[in-house]
Chain A
Amino acid sequence: MSPEVLSTPVVDTVKVPDRAHSRARAARRRRIVVQATRILLLVAVLGLWEVFSRAKVIDPFNFSMPSKIWDQIWTWLTHGTALGSLGEQIWYTLYEALLGWVLGVVAGVVLGIALGRIRFLADVLGPYIKVLNSMPRIILAPIFLIWFGLGPASKVASAVVLVFFPVFFNAFQGAREVDRNLVANARILGASDRRVTLQVVIPSATSWIFTSLHVSFGFALIGAIVGEYIGATKGIGLLVSQSQNTFNAAGVYAAMVILAVVALAAEGLLTFVERRVFRWKPTNS
């Protein structure tokens, strides 16, 4: 009996330094399992889609199938689309969305901060902004098409009206919720009203504004795409509407995939910029 009793603690002391190691291994294993399941899920969904479509369980004409969508993307990549090269279409849509986004963000931030800081402006303009915001603004896209024609201007305008409001409201809220202590401190230290706005209000509103930037880039893409869909000479939205008109379901899906990739890339870029801007923030919050 006794040798066994003695040997037990010895085994324990050997195990102790192992614990951190085994915990790390468990965490790594978990990550791998999550990744594998993720990929498996994607493969399963795409595989089922392909199989059902080929077996005519679902109508391949309406629902298409992953292989055809891939073929479509590949054709566009290698031979170009009916409208010109694929890169040109992506660039066109991206250009409209980006321009609309930048204009909408600048207008939203400037007006949001101005109204947040100047009580009089907020009281006068408040109700109008509420009314405009309550409208489903995407219906403006046809009007912009009439005003600005088939070129990029009408798409930029749709993107701007979609982007403006979320950015505006966040900037406004951010300017309103500035820590009063910080403002009082800046004034005591000698800051003028302009300095308070530029060096206290705007920096503290940046985290609010950045939250809206993520959402609003999506909105800018929607504005550009819908604008192109209604009427354009180039762009992914037009690609969607042309594919639809020629009953090419694979083309519609292919355009969707391309858009998703573009949106994800933009989101990644924004997150990268955000990390650099918010170096002053504690990482855990």
Chain B
Amino acid sequence: MSADTSPAIRLRGASKIFRTPSGGLHTAVRELDLTVGRGEFVAVVGPTGCGKSTTLTLVSGLEEPTEGEVLVAGEPVRGVGDKVGFVFQQDATFPWRTVLSNVMAGPRFRGVPKAEARQKAREWLARVGLAAFEDRYPHQLSGGQRKRVALAATFVNDPEILLMDEPFSALDVQTRALMSDELLELWEGTGASVVFVTHDLEESIALADKVVVMTAGPATVKHVFDIDLPRPRKVEQVRLEPRFIEIYREIWESLGEEVRITRERGAADVA
């Protein structure tokens, strides 16, 4: 298989075992098999703390799998590559840089000349609606605006693969829906492949082409659902469609079981 026709991401039997501070071993994910096609939007849902985020760190190259293989565009991942963009759950904007400088950071790190980086950064800031805020510092922005900065800073690098780790979970409900729509708009122009981790099933169905349900930790893929809702979608509208509700019910049957297992385990731990 040549690099051009191979899927964007392929995990084969990938496991990640961490050493805990007390010396024990903690299996975050086990025998993970997952394929993400080019330009595909895949959402990963699973109970809290099951190891969804670990999947992303493996694909990004921030962590290496203990066992198995992780391939990006047909090539095994070795360290952080230049194809990947990552939007973190927490705020990861640099507080000592202005908004413009934050968005310029990626191109500058990759050796793009300053003037060109500035121009690209301004374009993306305009696209996320923050053109007027380029001289502000992150602490002067709202949570939603900071998230937009993070999106612009990620998209400005033209990533082929976009990893998102519950990016909107810290936002209020209205901002969240708005940001989801904006994300879809930005993404549709790029052709990037997306892996979007969330614990919100509604969000995952509204956004994705495929929803992957993970088991209770140590996580592995339980089931993959195809979402046949037409695009372009508006998050607030698609939620009300009968087909959406049908899909929701179907996936929840699978996911709910894992959530229950996690909850019972939690209760057992507390007892």
Contacts and interface: CB of A to CB of B under 8 A. Distances in A.
Interface of A: 179, 181-182, 184-192, 195, 199-200, 203-204, 206, 279-282
Contacts of A203: 94, 96
Q: Give the dominant DSSP class at A's interface.
A: helix
Contacts of B105: 186, 189, 191, 199
22 contacts: A181-B92, A182-B92, A184-B62, A184-B86, A184-B92, A186-B109, A187-B80, A188-B62, A188-B84, A189-B106, A189-B157, A190-B110, A190-B157, A191-B105, A195-B109, A204-B96, A279-B137, A280-B98, A280-B138, A280-B139, A281-B139, A282-B139
B94 A188 contact: no
Given A189-B153, A189-B157, A280 B92 contact: no
B86 A185 contact: yes
B88 A181 contact: yes
The 6 closest A-B pairs by CB, nearest first: A185-B92, A190-B109, A189-B106, A190-B110, A191-B109, A188-B86
Contact of B88 (A185, A195, A204): A185
A190 B143 CA distance: 24
A182 B80 contact: no
Nearest to A192: B109
B90 interface: yes
A188 B77 CA distance: 13
Contact of B85 (A187, A188, A282): A188
B188 interface: no
A200 B109 contact: no
A187 B62 CA distance: 8
Given A184-B62, A187-B80, A190-B82, A280 B96 contact: yes
Given A188-B84, A188-B86, A280 B62 contact: no
A187 B110 CA distance: 10
Nearest to A279: B137
Contacts of A182: 92, 94
Scoring A190, A200, A206 by chain B CB atoms within 10 A of each residue's CB, the highest score goes to: A190
Contacts of A192: 109
A187 B106 CA distance: 9
Nearest to A184: B62
Nearest to A283: B139
Given A203-B96, A280-B97, 5 more contacts: A182-B94, A186-B105, A188-B60, A188-B86, A280-B95
A200 B85 CA distance: 18
